[in-house]
Structures are given as structure tokens and as C-alpha cells.
Amino acid sequence: MWIAEGSRSLFIQIAVFLVYIFLGAVIFQALESRNEEEEREAMLSARHLFQEKYNISHDDLKVFINKIEEIVDHGFSQHWVRRWTILGSLFFAGTVVTTIGYGHVTPCTDGGRLFCIIYALVGIPLTWLMLSTLAQQINDWIGRALRCCYERVLQRKPAGIGIKTAAITLAMSVIMVLVIALFGCYLEGWRYLDGIYFGFITLTTIGFGDFVPLHPSENRDPEGYTWHVLVFTILSIIYFTIGLAIVSSVLLSIRNAMEEKSLAGFQVLKETEDE
């Protein structure tokens, strides 16, 4: 009977997961497909004008485009920016061990790729062990502060500490996203919405790579702004560490809140498991 109930619960979870993915696919298609088609038509028109202006054959243009794609895949843009400096390498190492993996810089040598595998196998568990410990510490600090507020200020018995801790850590996560968006606007020339998008994609370790701090901005010469790369790289690494720890603390505090008997209904699950 226990196996049957567990199987039924697993089936429901898988079904919800698949429905959620399908729903997301439908919405993303509705939002992005038209823009994709417009961009495609614009690029085809630009390619046609380019061929006519410079009298380039279709085969020669294809070879040229393939070379451009290869250059872009290696992290280069219209400005020559050295990617494997100590700062660039430091930023890359941070994205590896945090599993963000923006993809704008990747090792191309056999030695680099083999070392990346070994480095990740060791670094990822160490990083998440540190983050989980830091998340637990953050929750403990917030919990003690709330209990102190209840007992000394409100002078009553603490109640609902878990759910309040979850709310506070969630608010901290939102604040971190909003703050990093400001730095993105100032140092990278992004729109504020793009900065918010970058912060969320980073904190959730999705890491698409379409917005990355080391990207040169079109409205400035990257060689003349070395200081901003240094500042933003250091801030980004700090942001990775603290932000991911706070996200972990959100998940941990939500789990703790669900285990509180003050939340009606959740204790029934625990009592059922004990029986």
C-alpha cells in the first residue's frame, strides 16, 4: 500500500512537471516566435544587400559567416578583448564551481577541457557545501533576531519563525537582484530590466550567457575602462557567493516553515510518515 501511494504521488509530480514544461513552451513560443521571424527577415535582407554591394557569391559568404560564428563562439566581438586574463579566468572559475556556466568563455584546448572536468568535480561539491552551511547560518541569524524581537520588544512567545524567515530571505534575494541591476546599468550600460534579468538568471544558476559582466559595451572603448571590469568582476564573484547562499537559505527556510506545526496541514504529512 505504501509503494502504491508513493508511486501515485510520483506519477502526479511527473505529470505536473511535464504539463508545466509544455505550458512554458507554448507561452515562450507565443512571445518569441514573431520576433524571431522578424529578425530572420531582417538578416536575410541584410545578407542580400551585402552580397549585392560587394559582389560576393553565396558559397563565399557562407564560408565568411561560418568563420564569424566560430569567432563569436570563442567569446570575441567587434572589439578585441582578451578573455583569459587573470580577471577573466577568475570569473570563469566562479561560473564553473557555482554551476552558472554563462558559456561566453569556454576552454578550447584539450588540457583546459580536461582540467575543467576535474576542477568542476572537486569544486562544485565544495562550493555547495560552503553555500549550504552559509545558508543555514543566515537562517540561524535571522531566526535569533526574530526571537529576540518577539521576546524583548513584543514581549510574547515567538510564533511562525520559519515562514517569517522565508519571507525575509526572499526579500533579501529580491533586493540583491535590484541592486545588481543598478551596477549593470552603471558599469555595463544595460537597461535596468536587463540588469534584473541578469540577476535572476544568475541567482537561479540558469546562466544563459546573453548578458555577462565581461561583455564590452558598444557605447565605450573597453580598453579604456579596465577599472570597471575589475570592479564588476569582484562584485560579481561576491554576488555569486552571497546571492546563491541567500537563495539556498530561502529554500531551506521554506522547508523549515513547512515542518512547523503552526502551519495547518503540514504536520499531518509528518505524522502520516511517522505512522
For 7-35, write each residue's pLDDT tens digit: 777 688 778 878 888 898 889 888 888 88
pLDDT for 232-266, tens place per residue?
677 777 888 888 888 888 888 887 777 665 454 44
| Number of neighbours of residue 229 by Cβ within 10 angstroms | 20
pLDDT value at residue 193? 94
pLDDT for 49-108, tens place per residue?
988 888 888 888 888 888 877 776 665 655 556 677 777 788 788 888 888 887 777 887
> Stretch 135-145: mean pLDDT, rounded?
90
Q: Which residues contact 204 (CB under 8 A, 6 or more apart)?
A: 247
> Stretch 136-145: mean pLDDT, rounded?
90
pLDDT for 173-206, tens place per residue?
999 999 989 988 887 788 999 999 988 998 888 8
pLDDT value at residue 266? 43
> Stretch 129-148: mean pLDDT, rounded?
90
Q: Which 3-state string (H, E, C) describes 230-272? A: HHHHHHHHHHHHHHHHHHHHHHHHHHHHHCCCCCCCHHHHHHH
pLDDT value at residue 269? 45
Integer Cα distance of 163 and 256 in angstroms: 8
pLDDT band at 273 (very low <50, low <70, confident <90, very high): very low
pLDDT value at residue 159? 78
pLDDT value at residue 122? 92
Q: Is the sign of the CA dihedral 192, 197, 198, 202 positive or negative? A: positive
